[in-house]
Amino acid sequence: MKTIAFTNQKGGVGKTTSTINVGAGLCLQGKKVLMVDLDPQANLTYSLRMNSQRIDNTIYDVLKGRISPDEAIISHNGFDILPSSIDLSGAEMEFVNEPARETLLKNNLEKLGTGYDYILIDCPPNLGLLTLNAFTAVKEIFIVLQSEYLALHGLSKLMDVIRVVKERLNPDIAISGIICTLFDSRKNLNREVVDHIKDYFGDKVFKTIIRDNVALAEAPSHHKTIFEYDSESYGAKDYLALSKEIRNGH
């Protein structure tokens, strides 16, 4: 079983889009996938689920210890989702006095056993307690970077946090993949940024670069993965190629 957190404290870089469509791509290859929405914005949840479809139990109830994770899991066309909700936005404050506050997610995911091939966690855009919980619960971290100016800005802070988690909470953790997203081949700057990211991270950077593709931005409003929404789009081609690279352990 592979456990992977998709992270970057910078907002809007494609973490949620990548979690959903890498997960869906792995599912198309016959893998059993769980996506965990660990963001109080609940973008992953609502990108796949209509607002009108009631969600009774969420990751918040799980972390609170009210229910077990399997009671919150919902399914979507072949893969599973552990949904989030706005309730989670108070988590930092609520859990502050819990002695094991960084291991709440890890302890709960362990209750699920090893039935999944992949557990993918969509992190919120900050380095707070929820992100620490993700880093404590996984073996691998994928950093998602937008192929734009300042892509690497602020990254040293993220690396510091990962180093501290590795020392104190989770010795197994490693940055195992860098995903470059929102690539626009018409912009020379985008190429330069990707070259710069490759200089910095070497062969951790996935060969598949995710292009800027409008279908990827449209699919969530139809509550669909890119493969369900437009399987011929560049977005579908790129995320299928990326998920193959991930499956083959690049």
Binding site for ligand ATP (CB under 6 A): 11-17, 39, 41, 43, 125, 181-182, 210, 212-213, 216-217, 220
Rounded CA-CA distance 34/158 in Å is 25
User: CB under 5 to 8 A by kind: which of ligand ATP, Mg ion, none does 13 bind?
Assistant: ligand ATP
Number of residues that bind Mg ion (CB under 5 A): 3
> Is residue 17 at the binding interface for Mg ion, with CB under 5 A as the rule?
no
Classify strands 74-76 and 118-122 as parallel, antiparallel or unpaired: unpaired
Tokens of residue 247, six digits: 């499956």
CA angle 26, 218, 8 (to 5 degrees): 60
Which residues lie across from 18 on neighbouring strands? none
Smallest distance from the beta carbon of 232 to ligand ATP, in angstroms? 15
**CA 41-44-49 angle, 5° bins:** 105
16 binds Mg ion (CB under 5 A): yes
> Position of tokens 């352990």?
249
Nearer to ligand ATP, 57 or 131 (CB): 131
Query: Which of 10, 15, 31, 106 lies at the binding interface for Mg ion (CB under 5 A)?
Result: 15
How near is the Cβ of 114 to ligand ATP at its closest, in Å?
27
- Residue 84 interacting partner from Mg ion, ligand ATP, none (CB closer than 5 to 8 Å by kind): none
Strand ranges (E), the chain: 2-7, 33-37, 74-76, 79-82, 118-122, 140-146, 174-181
Type of residue at 45:
T
Rounded to 10°, the helix 129-137/155-168 angle is: 60
- Give the residue with the Cβ less far from ligand ATP, 44 or 173: 44
Specify the stretch interacting with Mg ion by CB under 5 A; choose among 14-22, 109-117, 141-149, 168-176: 14-22
Beta carbon nearer to ligand ATP, 167 or 232: 232
Considering only residues 33 to 92 of the shown chain, the ones binding Mg ion according to CB under 5 A are 43
